Amino acid sequence: MIQKQQHSLLNKAEEACDLLRGHLKQDHVVRIISHNDADGISAAGVMCNAIAQEDGKFHVTIIPRLKDEIISKFFKEKYKLFIFCDMGSANLKSINRLKGDVIIADHHQTNLNARPGDNIVHVNPHLYGLDGTKDVSASGISYLTVRPMGYTNLSGLAIVGAFGDMQYKNGFTGVNQMILNDGIESNNIEVRDDLKIAYKSKEPLYKALSYTINPVIKNVSGDEEGSVNFLEKIGISYGIKFDELSNEEKDILKNELVKINPEIFSSVYTVPSEIPELRNLEDYSNILDACGKNKKHGIGLSICIGDRKDSIKEAQDLVKTYRDDIVYGIEWIKKEGSVVQDKIQYIYAEEKRKKRIMGTLSSIGLDLEILDPEKPVLAMSRMDNIIKVSGRTTSKMTEKGVNLGYALENASKSFNGSGGGHNIAAGAVIPYREMDNFLNLVDEIVRTQLKAN
C-alpha cells in the first residue's frame, strides 16, 4: 500500500520535473518562493542547485509565511514558472490566479477536496495518504521533483531539511528513508554509529558536553559545572578535546554517557565530500536553522548553493550565539524554576535573549527534568502589550489526555487572542493584561482533559 502511495507521489513529482525541464529548455528564469526555516531554505537550495546544474536561471525569495496578499504581489510578475516550496498547499485559490505555470512542493496539510487549477502541479504527500509530518519534508519533495534529472548528489540537502523539521526520531521513515537510500547507494551519504557530542573536535570536552542538547544528558547539558563533575567522576580530564582522548578513555566516556541516555550513541549522517562544518547533516541543519531564526536566510541560501567561505563563518557565529543562549537559559531555569499551578507550570521572560528561545528551553527543561515532566509548560514572552505563549508537554502526558493545541486555542479565544497547534506543542498570542486569567483557564482546561481521560 505504502509503496503504491509513494509511487503515485513520485509520478506527480515527475510531472513537475517535466514542467520544470520544459521551462528550462525555453531559457525561462524560474521564480522560487520558499519558507524561512531550515527546511524551506534547503528546499529552495535543492531547486536552485538542480536548475544551476542544468545551466538555468532562478530568482529566489524567502518569506516567513505565505498569505494571499503576498501572492497577489506576484500577480504582476511576468515569470513563466513559479515554484512554491514548503508552502502553497493552503493557498491554491490565489495561486491559481498567477499568470504562469506553478509547481507546489509542499508537505503541509492540505484541503483534499480543493482542486488545483490547470496551471498548477501540486506535489504533496497528503494527497496520497502519506505522512507529511514525519515521512517527508519540503526539501524532500523538492528533491523528488528534480530526482528524475538524476540529482542524487542533492539527497544530502534533502535530508538536511528533514532534520530541520525534526522528522528524525530513532531513524528516518517513509520517503525520507527512500531519499536516504538514494544518497547511500550513490555514495553521497554515509551512515555510521557515533557519539553525538556537539563541537566534539573543536571545544574542550566539558564545554562540548555542556553544549550537547540533542540528545540531552541529564546534569550535564547546559551545565558546565555539572559537566566538569561528571568527567572528574569517571576519571577523564575535562580540559582536553575529545580527539585527544585515548581509545580506552573514549570507550569509558561512551559507556558512561550511554548509561545516562542511550540515544547519545546512535546514527550519524554525513556527506564525506563536504567541508567539515557541513559534513554532518544535523550540523548543516542547525546552521540553516540559526540563519532562519536570525533573519539571515540569505546567508543560509548562499551556503546551500555553494558558498563555502564567508557565509559559513557568519552562520557558525549565529549557531554559537544560539547555543550560548540555550546554556544561559538552562542555567536560568535551574536557578529560578517555573511558577507551578495545579496542573500546569509557566516560565516568563521579558529579556530578549531568553524570549527567542522560550519554546526550545521548555522542551529541553522537560527532557532534563529540571521542569516537572508531569506538568505542561507554558513559556510566556512579553512583547509590549501582548504575550507570546509557547506550550510544551511530553508524549506521556498527551497519552494521559493532555492536548495543548486545543487548550491554547480555546483559552486564547476567551481573551481575544489566538492560538492552536499540536497536542504536544502549541502556541498562542494573548493580551498582556489577561495573562493571569489565561493561565488559570489553561490550568482548568488541562485539569478537565486529564479527568476526562
- Smallest gap from Cβ 154 to Mn ion, in A, equals 16
The residue among 66 and 231 lying less far from Mn ion, judged by its C-beta, is 66
Q: How many CB atoms lie within 10 A of CB 78?
A: 8
Residues that bind Mn ion (CB under 5 A): 39, 86, 137-138, 165
- Sheet containing 120-123: which strands, arranged edge to edge? 58-63, 30-35, 81-85, 101-105, 120-123
Rank residues 48 and 138 by Cβ distance to Mn ion and give the closer one: 138
Question: Please, what sign has the CA dihedral across residues 361, 365, 370, 371?
Answer: positive
> Would you say 165 or 443 has its CB closer to Mn ion?
165
Identify the CA nearest to 156 among candidates 182, 134, 193: 182
Q: How far apart are CB 129 and Mn ion at their closest, in Å?
A: 19
Nearest approach in angstroms of CB 108 to Mn ion is 7
Nearer to Mn ion (CB atom), residue 144 or residue 216: 144
Residue 155 Cβ, how far from Mn ion at the closest point, in Å? 17
Residue type, 31: R
Output the smallest distance, CB 131 to Mn ion, in A.
13
368, 261 contact by CB (below 8 A)? no
The minimum distance between CB 140 and Mn ion, in angstroms, equals 9
Is the sign of the CA dihedral 139, 141, 147, 149 positive or negative?
negative
> Cell for 104?
507546489
Question: Which of 101, 165 has the CB closer to Mn ion?
Answer: 165
Per-residue burial over 399-411, b = 16 or more CB atoms within 10 Å of its CB, e = otherwise: eeebbbbbbbbbb
Residue whose CB is less far from Mn ion, 39 or 182: 39
Inter-residue contact 165 to 209 (CB < 8 Å): no
Nearest residue to Mn ion, scored by beta-carbon proximity: 39
Cβ contacts of 126 within 8 Å, gap of 6 or more? 89, 107, 108, 109, 110, 112, 132
State the minimum distance, in angstroms, from the CB of residue 156 to Mn ion: 17
Q: CA 36, 21, 11 angle in degrees (round to 5)?
A: 80
Nearer to Mn ion, 86 or 182 (CB): 86
